[in-house]
Every structure is written in structure tokens, then in C-alpha cells.
């Protein structure tokens, strides 16, 4: 079996459901989350030159999910175009499941996309402000503003969040696609 096939198989079997969970927090609904993941996997494996490590492949897919989520127009168009290539989904449209979502997801859904992304990157991915800024292509000040506004809104909805700033001493400016050579 050629390398990318093996990595793809491992990723689909072992990592895809977690990726859907990650995308679900960003997107706030299941069909969009699944579309984001399907599309990100196809994009990653279609483009990457070296895919011999499932951890790296997963990191690429995560980054693509985020990019596509923030670039929703493109993501939605791509997902529609590729839907026929993928699994038949029996999931109903998002609103049909609205009552099943956790309160925290419903609160997230009320946030603008970048605020939502900041919350997920900081509190799920545990990125620093600098790393979050690099991922989003915005300044650290903008990240702080997004987070401040997002947390304030979520506190109104969810009450005390026990929020504490994650450490901010790690710095990553960019997202490696391939190791340094």
C-alpha cells in the first residue's frame, strides 16, 4: 500500500470522529461540521507532497478545517460540489437537531466566526494568544478583543465559566506543512 493510502486509512478510522467534534464546535451544526471535515481531508491528501505521518496529516486537516470555516462561502460551495463523492449522510439539516446541542455549543453559535474560532483555539486547542493570532492571520490585540467579547457574551449565557487565561509564553508564528529541510 502506498504511504498516503495508509495514512489516510489511519486518519479516517482513528482520527476523523475527533476532527468532526472539533469542526462541530466551530460550525455549531453537524452537517456543516461533517462537510468541513470531508472537504479538509480531500484537500489535504490531494495537495500534500509528503504524507507519511498521521499526526502531521491530522494537523494539516485541522488547519484546513479552520481556514474553510472562516472562509465559509468557499467552504460551503466546495462541500456542495463534493457531497456526491462522499458518504450518504442520514443527518438532517442543522435546525432539526437544535434541541440536542449542548448549552455551550448554542452559546458558541451566537458568536461571530472569528470570536468562535478564538474560543476554540484557546480553550480546546490550548494555543497561546500569539499562536491563535498566527492561525487566524490577525494581530494579538485582535485576538484579545475577540476573546474578551466572546467570553463576556458566553458568561451572560452560561454564567460563571471559571475562566483563566492559558499560559502565553509559547510562540508559533506559522503552521508548518512540512518539516524544515
Partner 1 sequence: MTDKLTGMLLDSLDKESRRFADQHRGDETSLYERAIGPRRRHRRIAQAAGGVAAVGVVALGAYGFVLPHGDDAVSNPSSNLEIERRARDWQPPADLQADGSAAGLIETWGIAPDVAPACATLDELARLEGLPWLGGEPVAVGAVGVEGAAVGGVTARGFASAEDGRAYLEAIDRAAAGCREQGAQAGIEVEARDLGIGAVPGDGVRVDVTGGAADGAWVAWVHLDGDEAVAVVAEPGAEDLAAPIIAAWFTAAAG
**CB 58, min distance to partner 1, A:** 13
Among 95, 99, 152, 160, contact with partner 1 (rule: CB under 8 A): 160
CB atoms within 10 A of CB 137: 9
Closest by Cα among 116, 127, 131 to 69: 116
What is the footprint of partner 1 within residues 117-156 (CB under 8 A)?
119-120, 123-124, 126, 134-139, 151, 154
CA distances, 106 to each of 69, 124, 157 (Å): 17, 16, 9
The CB density around residue 81, as the number of other CB atoms within 10 Å, is 10
Residue 70 corresponds to which cell in the numbers above?
472562516
Of residues 47-106, those binding partner 1 (CB under 8 A): 47, 49, 63, 66-67, 70-71, 74, 82, 85-87, 90-91, 101-105
CB of 64 to partner 1, least distance (A): 8
Decide if residue 42 touches partner 1 (CB under 8 A): yes
Is the distance from CB of 157 to CB of 103 less than 8 angstroms? Answer: yes
Min CB(82)–partner 1 separation in Å: 7
Minimum CB separation of residue 114 from partner 1 in Å reads: 8
Amino acid at each position: 500500500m502506498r504511504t498516503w493510502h495508509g495514512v489516510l486509512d489511519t486518519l479516517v478510522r482513528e482520527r476523523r470522529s475527533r476532527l468532526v467534534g472539533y469542526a462541530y464546535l466551530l460550525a455549531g451544526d453537524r452537517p456543516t461540521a461533517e462537510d468541513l471535515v470531508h472537504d479538509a481531508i480531500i484537500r489535504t491528501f490531494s495537495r500534500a507532497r509528503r504524507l507519511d505521518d498521521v499526526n502531521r496529516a491530522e494537523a494539516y486537516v485541522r488547519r484546513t478545517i479552520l481556514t474553510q470555516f472562516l472562509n465559509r462561502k468557499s467552504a460551503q460551495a466546495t462541500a456542495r460540489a463534493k457531497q456526491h463523492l462522499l458518504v450518504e449522510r442520514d443527518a438532517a439539516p442543522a435546525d432539526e437537531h437544535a434541541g440536542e446541542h449542548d448549552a455551550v455549543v448554542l452559546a458558541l453559535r451566537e458568536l461571530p466566526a472569528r470570536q468562535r474560532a478564538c474560543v476554540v483555539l484557546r480553550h480546546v486547542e490550548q494555543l497561546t494568544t500569539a499562536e491563535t493570532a498566527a492561525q487566524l492571520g490577525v494581530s494579538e490585540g485582535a485576538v484579545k478583543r475577540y476573546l474578551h467579547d466572546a467570553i463576556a457574551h458566553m458568561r451572560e449565557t452560561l454564567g460563571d465559566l471559571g475562566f483563566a487565561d492559558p499560559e502565553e509564553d509559547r510562540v508559533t508564528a506559522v503552521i508548518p506543512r512540512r518539516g524544515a529541510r
